[in-house]
Chain A
Amino acid sequence: MNLAANPELENQPLLRIENLRLESASAALVEDISLEVARGEMVGLLGESGCGKTITALSVLGLLPAHAVRRTNGRILFEGQDISGLDEKALNLVRGNRISMIFQEPMTSLNPIMTIGSQIGEALEVHRNLSRSERMREIARVLDLVGLPSSPEQLRKYPFELSGGQRQRVMIAMALACEPALLMADEPTTALDVTIQAQILELIGAMRKRFGMACILVTHDLGVVAETCDRAVVMYAGRIAEQGSVDTLFSEPIHRYTEALIGTIPAANEPGTELPAITGTVPPPGERPAGCAFAGRCAHALERCADNPPPAVRRGEHVGYCWNPAT
């Protein structure tokens, strides 16, 4: 399973999503998603609710509800291997081991009737062949890593005995137990206070340094992406609107949606002034126009925008899909 050892694969991206299309029974949910994540890289996946961020992240781990969502096109290559068609058994060798995920709500994603020691130990039990005492040592080490006390009393605690920030640390400890190559973090700090958010983001950064972990950070918070990520991918109505390095994407956005999102942030405006607003809402799946899905809300839309798919505007690695680019 350890493909990382193969020198031929060293230069390949860690994760490569190619032309991914996911459909529900009635409509396409995400279309033509292509993105890459290099080893050790941190990529922010941005967009409003209903843009398809979470479902894209879930598809990487094969966590889509099988009866409701089908993959009708595209591949997901992880360490050179197509993992999109793997069965549960094969996926289980990857999940929690090479790729881990943390979720927004640490209360509902932890098992309320399992001690945190056994929850963290679960991944190690499944993926590593350790004796009980070795496993206990590993659990203590991981807890230490995420800045929680690793005393035996701590291991016997239940999730309800912990604060929100502590629970998120337990989630991260579970995800990191096997030192994954890729961490999928879906709004990991959205439910937390800014002070605790700063701690958690610093922790994820430290783990990247420590064992070269890559991370996909799903969030709607542009500031978090600007401060922590190397690259950003902006999604809108199930498609990628723009992607590029954080520096260029925020300073010279191509897509009018990206530009508008940055403009609406209160901190980007003089206090007390009227905020630039994006009117309307994201068109739901099944109601997306043939052209640019943002056209209906765009202040700079041209006549052709609604009916014709926007062309790719490329500046090196930075690419946006817009008829009337912002910069």
Chain B
Amino acid sequence: MNASTLVRLSLRSILRNRMRSLLTTLGIIIGVCSVIVMVAVGEGSQASIRDNISSMGTNLIMIMPPRGQNAANRLVIEDVEKIRKEGVHVGAASGVVRSAQAVVGGIGNWPTTVYGVEPDYLRIKEWTTGAGDFFTERDVNLRAKKAVIGMTVAKQLFPDDDPVGKRFRIANTPFEIVGVLESKGSNAMGSDQDDIVMVPLSTAISRLRRSRYLQSIEISAASEDRMDDAQAEVEDILREAHRLSPEAENDFSVMNQAQIIEMASSVAKTLTMLLGAIAGVSLLVGGIGIMNIMLVSVTERTREIGIRLSVGARRRDILRQFLTESVVLSLSGGLIGILLAVGLSHLLESAFGLRAIISPFFILLSAGFAAAVGIFFGYYPAHKASAMNPIDALRAD
């Protein structure tokens, strides 16, 4: 009996009991579907995080205060100057401080985040001003009260006017708006990147933050292949600037973009695995359902097995027949589950804005896994069928 005959016969006997077959495969359908959807959503959120961090800049290296409880932040504006002066692999560098502020001006006030940065920041972020100009190195040196605002802030405060040249107040300090940033829209996590005000770093330190220490230094390496060199170089420069002895640990932490992505997506990755594993359990339960029904089916079809044996079926033929049935059952359950998962993922994306990524590899994997479940859980019933004594089987009713 060749493979196509086997599949045809098993399809026929599956279709003979439509309702039961559907209920049997339901476990597999739900299992496969939930595994795929869970993993797709997990992958999607990882990708969102990745995109989000990638959009933070190109060839980005970030210097932050040291991690740990009693480690003091010693990053200062002079460090940035030194990096910019001495770093041969460094393309651009800017100190960054952030503070949440309500800005007042135009037609009202607006809560936003004020960034104290240097002109290099725009290059690091690959950002441009749409109207007006960015403040200059000189403005930073003079602690100029100049600001560049994002599109959202511009719309909120000056809905009808050109904000360039207008004045507004941040923490009771009047600032002059010199430029409006090109709109960037929302980032991959859905937060509005245009809801921002940028002021010279020195001004922010003295007027808004009242601390000389920087929250971070953002650096863009001269090119992608010089990332590692730049990272090592910046580390050396900072150690020298902070006068660290060779055996002392860094009093800052350095991370490149890949490491940031790694760190940020590790939670999502763990979550993906956890969800996938839980869904995998339901697949297992589905497999047990198949075994259960196959056992019932074998008992019910004892007479049929007897007939087949009497007309010359070998034990192997019976084994193959029942194994094929359970594989066809679980595989078709798997395929339905895949289709359902694709549909559900689209629904999640369109209705809830969740990002779901189904990789073709994973589809193949789950189809393969469904088939494996069929073989694994179908083997025992099939073996039971094939081990029957033909005389007893023929006598069964």
Tell me if chain B binds chain A.
no
Residues in chain A within 8 A of chain B (CB atoms) = none
Residues in chain B within 8 A of chain A (CB atoms) = none
